Amino acid sequence: MKKFDVPEFYRSPVISRIKQLRKDMDPRKKDYVPTVLDFGKVKFYIARHFGFCYGVENAIEIAYRAISENPDKRIFLLSEMIHNPEVNADLVSRGVSFLMDTLGNQIVAWDSLSNQDIVVIPAFGTTIEIENTLKQIGIDPYKYNTTCPFVERVWKMSKKLGDESYTILIHGKHNHEETRATFSHAVKYGHALILRDFEEAITLSKVISGEIPSEEFYTLFKGKYSEGFNVKEDLKRIGVVNQTTMLATETKEIAAFLKTVMENVFEVKDFKEVFADTRDSLCYATNDNQSATTALLEQPVDIAIVVGGYNSSNTSHLVELCETKFPTFYISSEKEILSPKEIQHFHYHDKKLVKTSGYLPESNVVNIILTSGASCPDSTVDKVLQKILSYYPETKKIEEVMEQFEKTIIENNSSNV
């Protein structure tokens, strides 16, 4: 896989070192067993896969290249390049400005731009309408385009569905930048509809079966369907794609459920007459991170700490998995760890920050899951680990634990060869 030129300050002496060694020992990613760092009083269970993925590293490399290649020009990010506050803040500190917020609300007017300006397209991609607006101004939207290749793969999948006269169902959050971009590309080729979750899939199934009158569809899914959508005609053949950062299990459940609904309602011999078997369109990193988090659920731990931007979809799904088994704290950085007694964390269901006292259990050994979203730098996760360790002065030194980890993993790898 390509190696990207990512600023060194996003790397770290502990987390990056662990990830590289695990990668060297398991290049085909068959082992999802977490890394265990035993400091004595504190033991960390670190996910096999987490942090910067291919698409994020690609985006970071392109964005910083845009800065270095255009020292005398105005540089704009279309919106947040990735959903990580530290990365975006660093780009802003280097003179980059945002054209719009994550919901698509304009911050800088289009008519204030000129063909001498530089615009960086985020990893989520953008809509065809925005691409055309930039072209009209005289700005090349593809020169510094950081759209993730796995997002573009979903667009190709959508085209295939549309070309074969399937309506394109997008499992995603309708106000998320990636889903807005995918919807825009999908409607070039056919009708499209956004489904937020399994509950909306159930509602759609009742429309398809006639249990809910077709005219109610337009109210129930307002703002989520393509122009000219005809309920009686456009739900006879469907296929499912998704926002690449959604929960993999839910996408599969939605697809399997709707496939059965279509077979039963239309009574076909071959389901492909009414349902396209696209499987899921999640990116490899989302799959790997969710699988690695699932492996963490089998560990004997007390709490889970998940690090990432609060508007990061893929991070929220890691939180969702962890909280099925453990008290889980979703933080953006070590700054949210206020003291050994109190932590500030994001409650993603209610979309608000809360404070919790007594988050670290008073036990002989504190066992902690540690993982992060795909847009979170290793350096941030490292700072979280080190801040917690600072509350336990009698723990082993980091270098001692790392040397033992390296020795153990090399020995285990040799015995398996």
Longest dimension (CA), the chain: 69
CA distance 375 to 370: 15
Residue 99, C-beta contacts closer than 8 angstroms, at least 6 positions apart: 76, 77, 78, 79, 106, 107, 108, 119
How many other CB atoms are there within 10 angstroms of residue 394's CB atom? 8
Number of other CB atoms surrounding residue 30 within 10 Å: 6
Say how many CA atoms lie within 13 Å of 301 toward its Cβ: 31
| Euclidean distance between CA atoms 88 and 298, whole angstroms | 34
**What's the distance, Cα to Cα, between the start and end of the chain in Å?**
23
22, 25, 28, 33: CA torsion to nearest 10: -50
Contacts of 403 (CB under 8 A, 6+ apart): none
Q: 280 and 254 in contact (C-beta within 8 Å)?
A: no
| Residue type (1 letter), 297 | L
Query: How many secondary structure helices (H) and strands (E) does the chain include?
Result: 14, 14
In 4-13, which positions are buried (b, 16+ CB within 10 angstroms) versus exposed (e)?
eebeeebbbe
Tell me the C-alpha distance between 108 and 101, whole Å: 10
Q: Indicate left, alpha or beta for 77 from its phi (over 0: left) and psi (-120 to 50: alpha).
A: beta
Neighbours of 327 (CB within 10 A): 14
Q: Which of 178, 200, 250, 320 is catalytic?
A: 178
Determine whether 334 is an active site residue.
no
- The whole-angstrom separation of Cα 263 and Cα 127 is 33
Nearest residue to 176 (alpha-carbon basis) of 287, 313, 279: 313
Catalytic residue numbers, as ranges: 178
